[in-house]
Amino acid sequence: MYTFLRALFERFAVLIAWRSLRADRFGTFAAIVGVALGAATVNVVLVLDTNTRVIESRSWTLNPDLDVRASTVELKGILADGTEVLPADAKTETHEDYVVMRSAIRLGSLSAYLVGALIVFFTFAAVIERRKREVALYRSLGALPEQVAAVLVREAFIVAAAGAALGVLAAVPLSWLAAAAGMTTTGRARIHPGEMTWPLARMAIVSAVGGFTALLGVIRPVRDVLRVPVADALVGRSDTSVHTESKKVRGLARIALPFTVLLFVLMRPFFKSALPSLAFFAVEAGVVCALALATVVLVPDVVGYVGSLFSKLLPTKRSAVRLLVTRRIEQRGHEFGLPVAGIMLVLALLLSLHIAVYALKREVIDWAKSGVDKCLFVVPDKLKLSAEPVVAVLPERALVIKATSRTPWPNAVHAVESGGLVRWANALGRDDLKAIAARGGPGTVVLSTMMARRFGVRENDFLEVRGKGAARRLKVAGVTDALGYTLALDAYRNGKTYAVLDEADVDLIAPYVQPIGWSAVVIDSERPNDPDFRTLMKPVLDREHETRGVFLRGLHVLPGEGFMAERVRETGRDFWIFDVILALTSVLAAVGVANQLGILVHARRRELLLYRTLGMTAGEVRQIVLGEGAFTGLVGGSLAVLLGVPLGYATIGALRAVSAFDVSFSLPLRYVAVVISGAVALSLVAALYPARKAAASLDRVEHEG
């Protein structure tokens, strides 16, 4: 150990390390970028999450640790037999989804770290394997194994230090740009770039861990190369022990993969019922990560099998280029394991993410289509204003239901004018809504699905409303999201959680709300299920034009369809940060593809000389490398679909388990096409540099000849 530490700081070790890194510039660049981008991605998420928490901690509606400062009504659920129901904690329920989202974003950032680690590990393994003769030469000249190891470790240390430093430096502008674009880890607040907090100590720790990965990546290859006898290395004979050991590891992975899947499928109902929501999410995420890692171990074998099948499916008559590509894929397909694994991981995560986002958008659309999209909402943005001026100029065809404002969060309750729900239900023409409205009236309450879930009640149960002036037990006339909604400029989940009273019971909430007429819901009586809001709003817009923009000052007039579209856009914006993470990871995957193909090109110099002897041109060599890149993308994209679909299904299951969103799994076929075509395009772009390098080496041989 003393000899190793001493050799590590000798000038000889430093000189050889620098020269070796300069000799393989692209491999060095790939390893440094692998460490830097992996660490930078995690650091960006860390910075955004820290600042998101700082911003949200200032508001009691966003910070569950703060007490509710607003005065609001008290609600209590009571079953039909008189049993009181213990309600779900409003703060925990409201913030639970966002805690899960924050955790998912942090886990997603680890994908970049994992791909970067794969690049570093495979780069060092390939480079050191290629330098067996150089290592044997050092040892034949009298260098001790510790001294040779010190040279290789020194190279890894340089890569680790450079990558870690860049991981901190790159995170600063990336975080600033992400904050300027409105990205946070919950989607509920906005970070001001000029007021950002920088957790430099934790950023340094993250980068140091990324650098330590590079050091870990060199240990195994160094140990293996030092085990090879000097004579065997000098004459080109290789040791098969490493290959045998890797086969044993992959054999264990083959067993572990189906065993883990079956175990979790059998135990998942128990975990779901026995564990809290967040703990269940953590367990499911851990299992998914373990399965992804096991899949990575098996990728080389899978690629080899696919390569063999690929060559058999192609037509018998083909050009020399296609023949060489297919033969190499068939016989040496496992060599493409690293780039395929990187592409598979990145695009599988991207596919599963967009499956989840698609499901959440569908949930918003389905909720709005139940009745919200058929309404026009008029809501002031100040308590002292009223919807009455707009209501007064609407045409006769406008069916107006006037309402109060809502009581403050977390117990949102509002009242509508007497008979308003009946007219609303009759206009929509739905029998189920007519039945609920008929059961309504004084002494009753209509609950949204989310509110009913929070208080554990349903139709014919009771909701006790207690305020400053009065307390009353109201019978639940029905549970629906299609009747009684008034526009709430609040978080999506909060807006969907409400109770609707009749005007006769407005005294229960009068001290907390603005009176009837403060807000209004407008329905097109002539076309209630296919409203023409443009025609309905014409008198209002004309009045706005006449008053030169003063008439609608302080008032929001928003069609339900527009509100739905805005919520869909907001859902997409909430997940922009995932796209940024995976975009950075895609860059890493492209670097990994280019690096691996470049390593293979370097190792095939004799093969390229043989191609030149046989009359092959530089352009044909370029086509060979590009063909291998296309194969890498095709297999990587196909495996990404095979892994991403179950990941997406598991994500939907986790969302259903830990949130109140009614999401369901759906896979648009265009997602599959985009993933596979995107993988091929990414790999072809990444293969351009290795292809040019291979063609240049052939041109050089021809020129020297």
Q: What is the pLDDT of residue 590?
A: 81
303 and 216 within one domain: no
Lowest average pLDDT, out of 204-208, 290-294, 376-380, 680-684, goes to: 290-294
Q: Which residues contact 674 (CB under 8 A, 6 or more apart)?
A: none
Q: Which residues contact 479 (CB under 8 A, 6 or more apart)?
A: 446, 447, 448, 449, 452, 458, 459
673 and 655 within one domain: yes
Highest average pLDDT, of 22-36, 113-127, 261-275, comes from 22-36
pLDDT at 702 over 60: no
Domain presence at residue 331: yes
Give residue for tokens 């393994």: 125
Report the alpha-carbon distance of residue 538 to residue 394 in Å, rounded. 8
224 and 167 within one domain: yes
Stretch (H or E) spanning 597: helix 576-603
Domain end among 206, 237, 268? 237
576 and 704 within one domain: yes
Report the alpha-carbon distance of residue 675 to residue 681 in Å, rounded. 10
Of the candidates 159, 193, 195, the residue with the CA atom closest to the CA atom of residue 173:
193
54 near 197, Cβ under 8 Å? yes
Q: Find the mean pLDDT for residues 268-274.
A: 62
- Look at strands 413-416 and 499-502 and give their pairing: parallel
Q: How distant is the alpha carbon of residue 200 from its chain centre?
A: 25
468 and 521 within one domain: yes
Q: What is the CA radius of gyration of the chain?
A: 32
Q: Find the mean pLDDT for residues 231-236.
A: 56
Task: Please give the residue that has the higher pLDDT: either 683 or 600.
Answer: 683
544 and 395 within one domain: yes
Q: What is the pLDDT of residue 228?
A: 64
pLDDT in tens, 470-482: 889 999 999 999 9
Q: What is the pLDDT of residue 247?
A: 47
207 and 149 within one domain: yes
Q: What is the pLDDT of residue 248?
A: 45
302 and 187 within one domain: no
Burial 633-653 (b: 16+ CB within 10 A, else e): bbbbbbbbbebbbebbebbbb
Give residue for tokens 């009045």: 543
Domain presence at residue 387: yes
362 and 215 within one domain: no
- Report the Cα–Cα distance between both ends of the chain, in Å, rounded: 49
For the four alpha carbons of 227, 231, 233 and 236, in that order, the dihedral sign comes to negative
| DSSP assignment string, 279-308 | HHHHHHHHHHHHHHHHHHHHHHHHHHHHHH
For the four alpha carbons of 695, 696, 702 and 705, in that order, the dihedral sign comes to negative
CB atoms < 10 A from the CB of 295, how many?
Answer: 19
Q: What is the pLDDT of residue 220?
A: 73
Task: Write out the residue range of the structural domain in which residue 468 sits.
Answer: 382-553
Domain presence at residue 376: no
Task: Please give the residue that has the higher pLDDT: either 13 or 646.
Answer: 646
Domain end among 509, 533, 553? 553
Domain presence at residue 17: yes
For residue 362 the two structure tokens come to: 């569908």
For residue 429 the two structure tokens come to: 């023409």
Report the alpha-carbon distance of residue 324 to residue 331 in Å, rounded. 11
404 and 548 within one domain: yes
Q: What is the pLDDT of residue 461?
A: 95
158 and 49 within one domain: yes
For residue 1 the two structure tokens come to: 């150990």
pLDDT at 35 over 70: yes
Domain presence at residue 636: yes
Lowest average pLDDT, out of 112-126, 343-357, 515-529, goes to: 112-126
pLDDT in tens, 425-439: 999 889 999 999 999
Q: Find the mean pLDDT for residues 27-33.
A: 81
Q: Which residues contact 246 (CB under 8 A, 6 or more apart)?
A: none
Q: Find the mean pLDDT for residues 548-577.
A: 82
Give the CATH number of the domain where residue 397 resides. Answer: 2.40.40.20
Domain presence at residue 373: no
pLDDT at 484 over 80: yes
Domain presence at residue 81: no
Q: What is the pLDDT of residue 597?
A: 78
Domain end among 535, 553, 571? 553
For the chain, what is the domain count?
3
Q: Find the mean pLDDT for residues 245-271.
A: 56
Whether a cis peptide bond, with omega within 30° of 0, leads into 410 is yes
Lowest average pLDDT, out of 174-183, 236-245, 618-627, goes to: 236-245
Task: Please give the residue that has the higher pLDDT: either 16 or 386.
Answer: 386
189 and 131 within one domain: yes
Q: Find the mean pLDDT for residues 509-524.
A: 92
Domain presence at residue 299: yes
pLDDT in tens, 155-188: 888 888 888 899 899 999 988 988 888 887 777 6
pLDDT tier for residue 240 given thresholds of 50, 70 and 90? very low
